[in-house]
Amino acid sequence: DTGVSQDPRHKITKRGQNVTFRCDPISEHNRLYWYRQTLGQGPEFLTYFQNEAQLEKSRLLSDRFSAERPKGSFSTLEIQRTEQGDSAMYLCASSSQGARSPLHFGNGTRLTVT
């Protein structure tokens, strides 16, 4: 068990560019979540996958955001035409199948849009 892995750790991009983040969950976990955290706030839910199916999306996830989890393994989160308001820490978490299993978070990807 190597924990949840996220890549990259930091990303600086110019407004209008597209960015993609990757998350590798704990291998036996079939549930995967994306959250976003801004300074001084708790994480906010973005989306949830069970295996490869995206079952829940927050209204925070505008049409510039897309998430995938092909084959139910790793996941990617893409932001198109980035805006300064997208600057935040993007956190990935995973959990096992059991009812209400605890979430395990990765170290996050810190995005700065200039």
Q: Interface residues with another protein (CB under 8 A)?
A: 31, 33, 40-45, 48, 50, 55-56, 58, 89, 91, 93, 100-105, 107-108, 110
- Min dist CB 81 to another protein, Å, is 26
Q: Do 31 and 97 contact (CB within 8 A), yes or no? A: yes
Encode 21-34 in three state secondary structure: EEEECCCCCCEEEE
Task: Report how far apart, in Å, the C-alpha atoms of 84 and of each of 3, 35, 45, 93 are.
Answer: 30, 18, 19, 24
Q: Which is nearer to another protein, 93 or 113 (CB)?
A: 93
* 106 SS3 class: coil
31 or 82, CB closer to another protein?
31
Give me the least distance between CB of 100 and another protein, in Å please: 5
- From residue 57, give the alpha-carbon distance in Å to each of 19, 54, 61, 65: 19, 8, 7, 10
CB of 44: closest distance to another protein in angstroms?
7
- Smaller CB distance to another protein: residue 44 or 68? 44
Nearer to another protein, 6 or 82 (CB): 6
Question: Smallest gap, in angstroms, from Cβ of residue 101 to another protein?
Answer: 7
